[in-house]
Each structure stands twice: as C-alpha cells, then as structure tokens.
C-alpha cells in the first residue's frame, strides 16, 4: 500500500504566501531575523534580537509575533527572562530552502498578493485573454486589473496579440514558489524504546514479525562534538555518523557520512517507552573533507561510539528496528531499538501503541526498557 502521509506534511501554497506576507510588511529585517535565529539555534528575546541586529523594538516585535502565529518561531517554555523565541522545526525546514532562492522584495510583494500565484499557474498551462481570465477567475475587473498590473510591472507575465503568457522570469519564480510548497517537514517527535538483551535469539524472533524487511548490516561510527556554547539544561549535540556496509545483502559498498544536529526539547515517558520532542537537521557530507573542516574550526570530539548495527523496518507501519552490538566502548549484550517518527504529540501517542505491539509480539514487554540515549548511556 502506498504511503501518502508525506503529502500531508508539506509546506503548501497557503503557508508560503502567509510567510511572504510577513516579509512584505517588513522586508528590511525579515531575512536578517530568520538568519539570526538559524545561526544562533538557542532562545532569543526581542531585546536580544534588537541589540544583535541594531533594529527598532516595535517593528521587531511585530515581525516576531507574526512568525510565531504562522509557526516559524516557537515560544520557549519556562524562559526566566520573559518571552524568548526559537526557530521551530518548520522554521528550520523553511529557511534551509528559502535561503537558497533569489526572490527580491518587489517579487515577494507581488506574489504574496491574493490571486497572483493562481494566475501564474493558469498561464503556465496556456495563454489567456483578458476575457478568458475574467471568466476563469470570477473576481471583479478592478481586482483582476490590479493583479495583472503588478505581475506585468515585475515582468512575470507578458502580453502579445491580446493574450497574456507566463514569461521566463515568471516561470522561474513559479518554480521557486513550487519548491517551497513542496518542502516536507521534518517530524518533530520521535517515539522510541531501547532494551538490553543478553540472548542472541532475538534475531530469530524478529524474523517472525509480519512485514519486517532486513535492510542491511553496517558498522556504524558516531562522533559527538561538544557545542561551542554549553547551555545548561539544553540537550543539544552535533553528530558525525559513518555507515560502512558489512553484510553481503547490502546494495552499496561505499561508506555513507552524514552530519546531524539535534536539539532535544522535551522527553515524556509513555508507559515503557519515550516520546521525544526535538529539532533536527541532517545533511550528507563528504569524507574526509568534513573532518578537516571540523578540526579547522576547533571542534572537539566529546564521545565516540562504534557499533555493529542490523537495520530493519516495517514499512507498512513506518517503524524502524535497529539491533546493535556496541564495540567501542565495549558493552555486553545486544541493544534492541524500536522507533518511529511523528509530526505531533497525538500522532506520537498513536504510534507508541504500534511500537508496544511489536515489543509484545516478540515477548519483550515485561523487560525494563533503557531510559537513556546512546549518547547519555556511554
């Protein structure tokens, strides 16, 4: 069965236009505020933002309030110095894509107005006369004229022989808007359980699970780096992971390297497993270039964990199963990790039930789970 859940967690045109409306009201500081939050990655008050960017408080307060309203920023819970704000997971996903595009303020102002993007989409399919647009749009003549004038002034549409067409520039802008609309959000929650097992028969038990697929076995090396600024009570870390295939069934032979930044916002115990709210950004990196750059920037390895991992999954339930044997530092036994992602807390609780069913199916529901991540455990 095809999984359609990914289509339900995209940015979408409505949200993109809402964000552009915020920029339209304060184009001179919008990009600077998002950039500041992205590079800082910790809570900031409006006063701190004004000081860092040398901008006025009233206009900054206005932009921050709107970004919170549309979900790009989150209010930090428990801030002791008044309201503080942090880039949400949605905000991180948006900024990563938005920052690569070249859309000037005039274009942003134009396409954030009602009907603009819809008209660009119409003209991509075919050319329209004024009358055809009127019949298709079903809006007043003055409203249509205003939109057409704006699109013409920014050279997003052309007019020849009485018909309007999408210009090359208009096509480029529409492609940029579409790329933002197609942004898939990173799940904000992870549901997981980790169990220490002393019996190697676990591999045989797992094979009996309906729908289970063995992906590959790898030797996995994780290097955790100390943050530049240690902030008490914040669980943030940077991890460089290297996966080297060691199973004959693997379809690849070369190592894969990725860098993952994780900020754990909260952890809630749900029966015998954890629901973890977190922010996450992951990028594939080139090796050994990444080692040079991290060393050049003075990054220090805080912890290193090497394990042999069997990767499995149950695609129909979106569940990942990892069976780990930790080799460095040496740990006795086999660690079973069953986890899945969720976009909100309600979905996380529903998926927790699926994870518990898997644990019960293989007869491990009476075994106490481990309440720590590998990073905390080692």
Q: Can you give the pLDDT at residue 4?
A: 43
Task: Name the CATH code of domain 5-100 (choices 2.40.128.110, 3.40.50.720, 1.10.10.10, 3.40.630.30).
Answer: 1.10.10.10
Phi then psi for residue 302, to 5 deg, are: -90, -45
Domain ranges in the chain with CATH number 1.10.10.10:
5-100, 108-181
d(CA 216, CA 78): 43
Q: Can you give the pLDDT at residue 250?
A: 56
Q: Can you give the pLDDT at residue 45?
A: 95
Q: Encoding tokens for residue 23?
A: 């920029």
3-class SS letters over 107-152: HHHHHCCCCHHHHHHHHHHCCEEHHHHHHHHCCCHHHHHHHHHHHH
Q: What is the pLDDT of residues 181-226, one digit of tens each?
A: 999 999 999 999 999 999 889 999 999 999 999 888 999 999 998 7
Q: Can you give the pLDDT at residue 228?
A: 64
Q: Which is nearest to 219 in space by CA: 337, 311, 300, 290? A: 311
> In terms of CATH architecture, what is 108-181?
Orthogonal Bundle (1.10)
- Cα-Cα-Cα-Cα dihedral sign, residues 170, 92, 343, 378: positive
Instruction: Name residues of the chain where pLDDT drops below 70.
Output: 1-8, 77-82, 228-234, 247-252
Pairing of strands 334-342, 256-270: unpaired
Question: Global pTM?
Answer: 0.88
> In terms of CATH architecture, what is 189-377?
Beta Barrel (2.40)
Q: Can you give the pLDDT at residue 79?
A: 55
Q: Can you give the pLDDT at residue 3?
A: 44
Q: Can you give the pLDDT at residue 276?
A: 94
Domain ranges in the chain with CATH number 2.40.320.10:
189-377
Contact (Cβ atoms closer than 8 angstroms) between residue 103 and residue 180: no
Residue found under tokens 């069976």 = 323
């Amino acid at each position: 069965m095809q999984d359609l859940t990914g289509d339900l967690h995209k940015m979408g045109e409505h949200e993109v236009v809402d964000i552009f409306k915020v920029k339209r009201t304060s184009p001179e500081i919008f990009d600077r505020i998002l950039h500041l939050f992205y590079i800082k990655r910790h809570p900031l008050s409006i006063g701190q933002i004004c000081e860092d960017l040398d901008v006025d408080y009233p206009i900054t307060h206005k932009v921050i309030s709107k970004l919170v309203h549309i979900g790009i920023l989150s209010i930090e819970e428990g801030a002791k110095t008044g309201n503080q704000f942090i880039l949400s997971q949605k905000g991180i996903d948006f900024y990563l894509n938005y920052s690569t595009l070249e859309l000037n303020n005039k274009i942003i102002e134009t396409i954030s107005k009602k009907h603009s993007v819809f008209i660009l989409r119409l003209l991509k399919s075919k050319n329209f006369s004024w009358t055809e647009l009127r019949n298709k749009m079903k809006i007043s003549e003055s409203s249509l004229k205003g939109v057409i004038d704006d699109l013409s002034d920014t050279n997003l549409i052309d007019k020849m022989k009485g018909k309007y067409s999408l210009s090359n520039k208009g096509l480029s802008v529409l492609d940029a808007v579409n790329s933002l609309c197609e942004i898939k959000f990173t799940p904000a929650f992870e549901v997981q359980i980790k169990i220490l097992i002393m019996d190697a028969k676990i591999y045989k038990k797992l094979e009996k699970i309906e729908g289970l697929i063995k992906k590959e076995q790898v030797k996995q090396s994780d290097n955790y780096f100390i943050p530049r600024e240690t902030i008490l009570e914040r669980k943030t870390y940077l991890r460089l992971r290297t996966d080297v295939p060691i199973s004959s069934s693997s379809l690849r032979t070369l190592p894969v390297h990725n860098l993952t930044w994780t900020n754990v916002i909260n952890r809630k115990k749900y029966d015998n497993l954890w629901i973890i709210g977190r922010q996450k950004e992951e990028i594939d990196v080139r090796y050994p270039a990444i080692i040079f750059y991290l060393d050049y920037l003075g990054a220090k390895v805080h912890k290193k964990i090497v394990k042999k991992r069997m990767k499995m999954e149950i695609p129909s339930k979106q569940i990942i199963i990892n069976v780990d044997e930790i080799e460095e530092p040496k740990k006795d036994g086999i660690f079973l990790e069953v986890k899945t992602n969720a976009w909100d807390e309600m979905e996380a609780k529903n998926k927790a039930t699926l994870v518990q069913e898997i644990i019960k199916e293989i007869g491990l529901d009476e075994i106490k789970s481990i309440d720590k991540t590998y990073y905390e455990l080692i």
